[in-house]
């Protein structure tokens, strides 16, 4: 329990928050044995010798789909660390994170290809420690939300002759993965969304992480098809992937991507507006959320133009793990 009290937010009732974490851990796939900690020995810091060790810092590693593992690091205590040992706190966190990442890779070889963390840019205590532990930034993310009351029009866009949305549920199950891998791979060419991630994970791993987001429903994943201007042949040129997340009562726009050959034609607004309207037929009262690299100005214009508004910001930090 002492370790759990350092993993939760230090604001509010820390003991109750720690108890909730311990009680809910198994149901959320969190293995609390995958915690590394820095302890203060008994009797240190002027405490009574029999008072037992104190957890100064800790790092929890949570494996996820697509061969990823998320690192969660302890924040400063309620009392604060104070200017005299703030640097010591950063060094201790960094050492704890570095040990957690290295030992996790040895204990669970091949389980994860990359460790990641998503601290707020304002949480310098976390950002500094993670970067000192070898994590590098792959982008600053804006988290956006489209409220149910925000009106989205799709009049006329679905009848455009050059493109259409084909539900993945219409594709034979045995062919879905190959088509999706092809669409993802082609959409990554010259991408503006966290381009530093290209090559860090395989497309297969990325697709697995998409499948694991919320509750997968093939009826909410669409393949974008293009009708050739001259030959009339339909070609797959992108995808729009959405998943319901019942625990949060939201629908997440997991991914929207187009092949380089059809970008710049003004399709994205129509594609997304149609997808949003179709989702709302089933989840009328749920917001739709997404995350976007703040450097991707065209994507931000698209989302803001449809009424998405920012509600949080995170710094995406990653560190590659040994693959053998």
Q: Residues 185-206: pLDDT tens digits?
A: 999 998 888 878 877 889 999 9
Average pLDDT over residues 95-100: 96
Q: State the Cα angle at 29 between 288 and 207, rounded to 5°.
A: 55
Q: Which of 9-23, 89-103, 109-123, 297-311 has the lowest mean pLDDT?
A: 9-23
Q: Count CB-CB contacts under 10 A for residue 77.
A: 16
Over residues 223-236, the pLDDT tens digits come to 999 976 566 678 89
Whole-angstrom distance between the N-terminal and C-terminal Cα of the chain?
34
Burial tier of 176 (Cβ tally within 10 Å: 0-12, 13-18, 19+): middle
Q: Count CB-CB contacts under 10 A for residue 218.
A: 13
Q: Could you check whether 2-134 and 144-313 share the same CATH topology?
A: yes
Structure tokens at 195: 């381009």
Q: Does residue 7 register a pLDDT over 90?
A: no
Q: Can you give the pLDDT at residue 149? A: 95
CATH, domain range 2-134: 3.40.630
Average pLDDT over residues 145-159: 77
DSSP 101-126: HHHHHHHSTTT-SEEEE---TT-HHH
Contact between 227 and 162 under an 8 Å Cβ cutoff? The reply is yes
Domain boundaries, the chain: 2-134, 144-313
- Provide the CATH topology of domain 144-313: Aminopeptidase (3.40.630)
Among 154, 138, 112, CA closest to 277 = 154
Q: Can you give the pLDDT at residue 234? A: 82
Structure tokens at 30: 């969190």
Kindly list the distances between the CA atom of residue 317 and the CA atoms of 139, 143, 194, in Å, as whole numbers in the listed order: 8, 16, 11
Contact between 156 and 179 under an 8 Å Cβ cutoff? The reply is no
- Report phi then psi at 127, rounded to 5: -60, -45
Q: Is the dihedral of CA 72, 95, 209, 290 positive or negative?
A: positive
Structure tokens at 272: 């997304």
What is the average pLDDT score of the chain?
89
Contact between 130 and 100 under an 8 Å Cβ cutoff? The reply is no
The full length of the chain comes to 324
């Amino acid at each position: 329990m002492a370790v759990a009290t350092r993993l939760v937010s230090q604001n509010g009732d820390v003991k109750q928050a720690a108890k909730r974490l311990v009680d809910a851990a198994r149901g959320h796939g969190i293995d609390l044995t995958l915690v590394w900690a820095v302890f203060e020995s008994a009797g240190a810091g002027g405490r009574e010798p029999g008072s037992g060790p104190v957890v100064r810092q800790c790092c929890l590693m949570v494996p996820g789909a697509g061969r990823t593992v998320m690192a969660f690091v302890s924040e400063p205590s309620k009392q604060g660390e104070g200017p005299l040992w703030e640097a010591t706190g950063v060094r201790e966190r960094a050492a704890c994170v570095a040990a957690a990442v290295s030992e996790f890779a040895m204990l669970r070889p091949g389980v994860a290809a990359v460790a990641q963390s998503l601290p707020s840019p304002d949480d310098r205590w976390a950002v500094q420690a993670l970067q000192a532990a070898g994590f590098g930034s792959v982008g600053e993310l804006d988290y956006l939300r489209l409220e149910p009351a925000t009106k989205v029009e799709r009049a006329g866009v679905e009848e455009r002759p050059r493109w259409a949305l084909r539900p993945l549920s219409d594709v034979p199950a045995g062919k879905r993965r190959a088509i999706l891998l092809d669409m993802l791979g082609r959409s990554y060419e010259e991408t503006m969304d966290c381009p530093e991630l290209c090559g860090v994970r395989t497309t297969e791993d990325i697709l697995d992480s998409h499948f694991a987001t919320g509750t997968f429903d093939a009826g909410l994943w669409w393949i974008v098809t293009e009708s050739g201007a001259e030959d009339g042949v339909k070609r797959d040129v992108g995808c729009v992937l959405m998943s319901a997340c019942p625990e949060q009562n939201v629908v997440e726009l997991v991914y929207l991507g187009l092949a380089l050959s059809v970008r710049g034609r003004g399709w994205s607004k129509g594609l997304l507006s149609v997808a949003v309207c179709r989702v709302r037929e089933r989840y009328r009262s749920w917001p739709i959320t997404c995350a976007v690299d703040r450097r991707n100005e065209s994507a931000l214009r698209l989302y803001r133009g449809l009424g998405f508004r920012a509600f949080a910001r995170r710094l995406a930090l990653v560190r590659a793990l040994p693959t053998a």
